[in-house]
Amino acid sequence: MDALRLILILSLLSFSSSAVAADNGGEKVTLGLYYESLCPYCSNLIVNYLYKLFESDLISITDLELIPYGNAKVHPNGTITCQHGPYECLLNTVEACAIDVWPDVKDHFPFIYCVESLVYQHNYTYWETCFEKLGLDASPVTDCYKGKRGTELILRYAAKTNALQPPHRYVPWVVVDGQPLYDDYRNFAYYICKAYKGTTKPTACTGLSFGLIRKVKMNLFDTLYGDKISQSKLFEAVQAILSWLQRNKTVASL
């Protein structure tokens, strides 16, 4: 399935453009994903949710920015440690280098998607196969992550991550035009459409009200249960409701 999805992403990216934003004068909405390469929640977001940007015309109004650093630490002696160990530091740097070598999202996202698909499948040690799968020259990325440039990029992402206001609490940390989505990050499409100021919104924005529905449900649960149910349980219940609604396409306009 991931291989077929990767082919789909590549074909969709080849036809993607900024036509909607250009036609009606709207500025693109920035979608920032602060993540770390071996975080299971991060790979799940990239593999099962973020790729949907390219399934429709939503990417035409979205400036997608990936920041692979997450909960890593830069120590006074200049060394960098990562939450999931040295291999995560390696892949963070590899992905940072891919973004640097291929700055256009249509070029670097398929590679990052490929790597994170292997992370999701617990096969991340085979990440180098993504060069061959995508027909990419590995040498620029290899030279980058093995040299000083890779470290420079990670330090840049460290500074960017540490400058977040409010500070990130966990990963994935998703922001839309600088505003964090907190635990509603999977519903990024709703927030992109809400933030877009153009006169004509993409067709992908039609009927998107998941974020609003989630807020209504959270208020309902708080009213019914108060302190008798934990926030994590509330979130799980809300996500289950939203997933059911999405599957059955019965989301009502609120």
Domain residue limits at 240: 209-248
The type of residue at 132 is E
Residue 254 CA: distances (Å) to CA of 43, 193, 211, 216, 236: 32, 15, 11, 10, 22
Residue 61 CA: distances (Å) to CA of 24, 198, 201: 11, 9, 8
Three-class DSSP category at 110: helix
Buried b (16+ CB within 10 A) or exposed e, 100-114: bbbeebbebbbbbbb
242 shares a domain with 158: no
User: Beta strands 80-81 and 173-176: pairing type?
Assistant: unpaired
Its pTM stands at 0.78
User: Tokens 């061959």 appear where?
Assistant: 132
The proportion of the chain whose per-residue pLDDT surpasses 70, expressed as a percent, equals 72
137 shares a domain with 66: yes
| Packing angle of the helix pair 86-101, 139-146 (nearest 10 deg) | 130
Q: What is the pLDDT of residue 238?
A: 57
Tokens of 104: 């256009």
18 shares a domain with 126: yes
32 shares a domain with 134: yes
Tokens of 122: 């617990």
121 shares a domain with 29: yes
- Convert the pLDDT of each residue in 176-204 to its tens digit: 999 999 999 999 999 999 999 998 889 99
Q: What is the pLDDT of residue 8?
A: 62
Q: Which of 106, 41, 42 is nearest to 68 (CA)?
A: 42
At 10, the pLDDT band (50, 70, 90 cuts) reads low
Instruction: Tell me the sheet residues that pair with 225.
Output: none
70 shares a domain with 21: yes
Q: Answer whether 31's CB lies under 8 Å from 105's CB.
A: no
